Chains A and B, each alone.
Chain A
Amino acid sequence: MKGFGHFPLILLSLVLFALLPFLPFGVWQAFLLDVGFFVLLFTALALSWDLVARTGQLSLAHGAFFGLGAYSAGLLAPQLGTLPALLLGALTAGAGALVLGSVTLRLHGLYFAIASLAFSEVLRTLALKLPFTGGPIGLPVPPPFAGAWPLATYYLSFGVLLLATALSLWAERSPFRLAQAATRQSEAVARVLGVRVVQVKLWSLLLGSLVAGLAGGVYGMKTLFLSPYDAFSLGRAVEALVIPIFGGLYTTLGPLVGGVVLVSLEQALRLWIKEGYLVVYGAILILVILFLPRGLVGILGRRRG
């Protein structure tokens, strides 16, 4: 019941995000909604990465799943409409994960990381070369629901975070958590205990990729434009792994707190420090990693004894 220990905090943050558009922030309202959009989206991406990390696999393919979802949704949205395009985008990312996973999930740790990095590079190159992706020039994407509802992108990203949180809580609460933990700690022992290691890793990768693909689709609808270097960027995958490390690995609350703090912190530092803000940002990251090895949620754990 690990995940439910922090359930009130998780619920509270979700309720706050749901109500954000209606809170009285005055002139800061629109700005905070835009920041909130990216907080929600990158937090969902981080949760999806953490789902895979719980099996001990270091995925650098999350940029690729994000890009697959973004491009598929962007290409399909003009014909199918927003929601079917997003759904198919997520499924395409899932299909990509199945292909990657079926070939590489017998690899461990760093070897899988390298394979997943190569997968990202292949997909980025394909996006650059295929005739229907817009190639290096990029792909314009229509806004959701033809721009009829201004809050659509915000609530779509909230929906992605809800899904990511629900999946993460389910994974924490169910026996799947034990299978993931056993796989992470020792595959050989897990096998002896009867855990179908490859299957557990494949399911984790599939679930993570579905969320990442969905997040990519919503991202495209907000930025209205995709380029292979942005959509399939390695930086996206790195962001997805930094947030859970900062907030606390293998939990739902960790990436949630990490995403909210880290993405907001970056925006705030950019606003108030301007040039050189990355120095402060980097220093905070290093300090947290050095002194809070279990991330920000480690503080809560300590308080609870």
Chain B
Amino acid sequence: MGKVVGFLVLLAGLAWAQVPLKVGVILPLSGASAVSGKAALNGIQLAADEANAAGKVRLELVVVDDGTDPAKAVPAFTKLMTVDKVDIVIGGLASGVTFALSGPVKQYGPLFLVIGAASSVVEQAFEGYPLFFHYHPWDYHNVAAALQFFQYLNREHGAKKVAILYEDGPFGSAGIGVYKQQLEKLGYQVQAEPFKAGSGQFTAILTRFRAFAPDILYWIGYDVDALPIATQARQVGLRPKLIYGAPPSWPIGFEKNPLSNDIAGMTAWLPTVANAESRRFVEAYRKKYGEVTEEYMAPMGYTILKSLALAAEKTGSADKNRIAEALAGLKMPTPFGLLSFKPSDTGRTKYQGFGSEIWFQFQYLQGSRRPVFPKEVATRPLRYPGEYYLR
């Protein structure tokens, strides 16, 4: 009897020692960004399971769908704040939706851990908000990382001409002027032309590019454009030395298509990344979901929840201000490398997690994506010139 009572007391003590933490998660589980949103949620749930199993914190997730639409996101966020009464929110994947949340966030004052929202317009919207932790790099970090690669191509491979094919929507058109200007500053001749998003028709533009004879064909668009561009570039006989793409995600199974070979792009993470945290994440993800993801939002979600659990563990409290303090001083290995917070480059926000250092360039080589630049992360040398012609 005494042993049973002792055991119960021990159990009660353990439960009491756990930090209970109710966390709101607002992500696009439907709408345009649903693929990234679901990947992020998988990562978050995986990390929550691990944290709960470790026993020091007891996490309860309240998940709502923002629909990639401000009209749906605002009520969903209000519900988290007023009905579910959470003090900590993970979310903010699409920039437009995150901007719409800036008003309610300032009104209710939660600790807001932001997973995406790379547009620096969001940075302005949250200027001065003390509990804003932005993990994802800002858009200027993305530009810096891509330009570093182009500088390398110019210096080491003598690339001089870039033809830019960009979609006419916000994703492709934002910052195109800056890109063009910066590339010209690096010594490139640039010819840029927009295409209608989702049209799948590129032959007219690619034929015009043929006269320009670019060294690099750089397309800024969505995953659906990848295959038509790879095919039509060959059809019109455009033979750049490198096709470089910058979609938010690549088509599933693209690596299995021989036309993907030698196409290069930029990402923040691949399952083949050789760091211990990344390997651990891939293994745990495979165990829980029975597959491996290539979406970098999955390890990003995982990283955010891990860091939150660690901060809660350190403070031994569920108080958002104390957790924010602990997060601010946190140094933690992640699948992307070391995470620590510092003020953003513009100084507008106080807690910026990752910068341009997490981006790297990869190339589709023999059926998989291989890191090729910078050399610290490269597992294969860049194939330049690549082979982009019909055999």
User: In the complex, what distance in Å separates the CA atom of A274 from the CA atom of B102?
Assistant: 24
Q: What are 25 sample pairs from A and B whose C-beta atoms fall under 8 A apart?
A: A27-B85, A28-B82, A28-B83, A29-B82, A31-B83, A38-B74, A128-B173, A135-B173, A136-B171, A136-B174, A137-B175, A138-B119, A138-B121, A140-B99, A147-B103, A223-B71, A225-B102, A228-B170, A230-B70, A270-B65, A270-B67, A270-B76, A271-B79, A277-B30, A278-B30
User: In the complex, what distance in Å separates the CA atom of A224 from the CA atom of B96?
Assistant: 9
- Chain B, interface SS category: helix
Also in contact, A225 and B121, with CB within 8 A (given A138-B96, A278-B30): yes
Q: Enumerate A22-43 residues with CB–CB distance to B below 8 Å.
A: 27-31, 33-35, 38, 42
Which residues of A pack against B, CB within 8 Å?
Answer: 27-31, 33-35, 38, 42, 125, 128, 135-138, 140, 143, 147, 150, 219, 222-225, 227-230, 266-267, 270-271, 274-275, 277-278
Q: Say yes or no: is B72 at the interface (Cβ < 8 Å to chain A).
A: yes
Also in contact, A31 and B71, with CB within 8 A (given A138-B99, A227-B170): no
Which of A143, A225, A228, A267 has the largest number of chain B CB atoms within 10 A? Answer: A225
Q: Say yes or no: is B263 at the interface (Cβ < 8 Å to chain A).
A: no
User: In the complex, what distance in Å separates the CA atom of A227 from the CA atom of B71?
Assistant: 13
Contact with A along B69-89 (1 / 0, CB 8 A): 111101110110111010000
User: In the complex, what distance in Å separates the CA atom of A28 from the CA atom of B81?
Assistant: 10
Contacts of A225 in B (CB 8 A): 70, 96, 99-100, 102, 121, 125
Whole-angstrom distance between the Cβ of B171 and the nearest chain A Cβ: 8
Contacting residue for B81 out of A30, A38, A228, CB 8 A: A30
Q: Enumerate B7-66 residues with CB–CB distance to A below 8 Å.
A: 29-30, 63-65
Whole-angstrom distance between the Cβ of B37 and the nearest chain A Cβ: 10
Count of interface residues, chain B, beta-carbon cutoff 8 Å: 38
Q: Say yes or no: is B124 at the interface (Cβ < 8 Å to chain A).
A: yes
- Interchain CB contact under 8 A, B83 and A136: no
Chain A residue nearest in CB terms to B65: A270
Whole-angstrom distance between the Cβ of B159 and the nearest chain A Cβ: 27
Contacts of B82 in A (CB 8 A): 27-31
User: In the complex, what distance in Å separates the CA atom of A222 from the CA atom of B30?
Assistant: 22
User: In the complex, what distance in Å separates the CA atom of A15 from the CA atom of B67?
Assistant: 30
- Interchain CB contact under 8 A, A137 and B174: yes
- Interchain CB contact under 8 A, A227 and B72: no
Which of A30, A223, A224 has the largest number of chain B CB atoms within 10 A? Answer: A223
- Interchain CB contact under 8 A, B72 and A229: no
- Interchain CB contact under 8 A, B81 and A274: no
- Interchain CB contact under 8 A, A31 and B79: yes
Q: Say yes or no: is B169 at the interface (Cβ < 8 Å to chain A).
A: yes
- Interchain CB contact under 8 A, B100 and A224: yes
Chain B residue nearest in CB terms to A135: B173
- Interchain CB contact under 8 A, B170 and A274: no
Whole-angstrom distance between the Cβ of A75 and the nearest chain B Cβ: 15
Contacts of B124 in A (CB 8 A): 140
- Interchain CB contact under 8 A, A274 and B65: yes
Q: Say yes or no: is B168 at the interface (Cβ < 8 Å to chain A).
A: yes
Whole-angstrom distance between the Cβ of A161 and the nearest chain B Cβ: 15
- Interchain CB contact under 8 A, B121 and A38: no
Whole-angstrom distance between the Cβ of B192 and the nearest chain A Cβ: 14
Contacts of B71 in A (CB 8 A): 38, 42, 219, 223
User: In the complex, what distance in Å separates the CA atom of A255 from the CA atom of B81?
Assistant: 31
- Interchain CB contact under 8 A, A223 and B78: no
User: In the complex, what distance in Å separates the CA atom of A271 from the CA atom of B75?
Assistant: 10
- Interchain CB contact under 8 A, B121 and A140: yes
- Interchain CB contact under 8 A, B70 and A223: yes
Contacts of A224 in B (CB 8 A): 99-100, 102-103, 125
User: In the complex, what distance in Å separates the CA atom of A242 from the CA atom of B107?
Assistant: 34
Interface contacts beyond A137-B174, A150-B107: sample of 8 additional A-B pairs, CB < 8 Å, sorted by A = A27-B82, A125-B168, A136-B170, A223-B100, A224-B100, A225-B100, A228-B170, A267-B72
Whole-angstrom distance between the Cβ of B211 and the nearest chain A Cβ: 25
User: In the complex, what distance in Å separates the CA atom of A115 from the CA atom of B158?
Assistant: 49
User: In the complex, what distance in Å separates the CA atom of A278 from the CA atom of B74?
Assistant: 19
Whole-angstrom distance between the Cβ of A118 and the nearest chain B Cβ: 13
User: In the complex, what distance in Å separates the CA atom of A225 from the CA atom of B71?
Assistant: 11
Contacting residue for B168 out of A34, A128, A223, A277, CB 8 A: A128
Chain A residue nearest in CB terms to B120: A137
Contact with A along B148-188 (1 / 0, CB 8 A): 00000000000000000000111111110000000000000
User: In the complex, what distance in Å separates the CA atom of A181 from the CA atom of B175?
Assistant: 50
Chain B residue nearest in CB terms to A228: B170
Contacts of B95 in A (CB 8 A): 138
User: In the complex, what distance in Å separates the CA atom of A136 from the CA atom of B121?
Assistant: 11
User: In the complex, what distance in Å separates the CA atom of A225 from the CA atom of B70?
Assistant: 9
User: In the complex, what distance in Å separates the CA atom of A271 from the CA atom of B76?
Assistant: 8
Chain B residue nearest in CB terms to A125: B168
- Interchain CB contact under 8 A, A275 and B29: yes
- Interchain CB contact under 8 A, B103 and A143: yes
Whole-angstrom distance between the Cβ of B240 and the nearest chain A Cβ: 25
- Interchain CB contact under 8 A, A135 and B174: yes
Whole-angstrom distance between the Cβ of A279 and the nearest chain B Cβ: 11
User: In the complex, what distance in Å separates the CA atom of A277 from the CA atom of B82?
Assistant: 23
Chain B residue nearest in CB terms to A147: B103
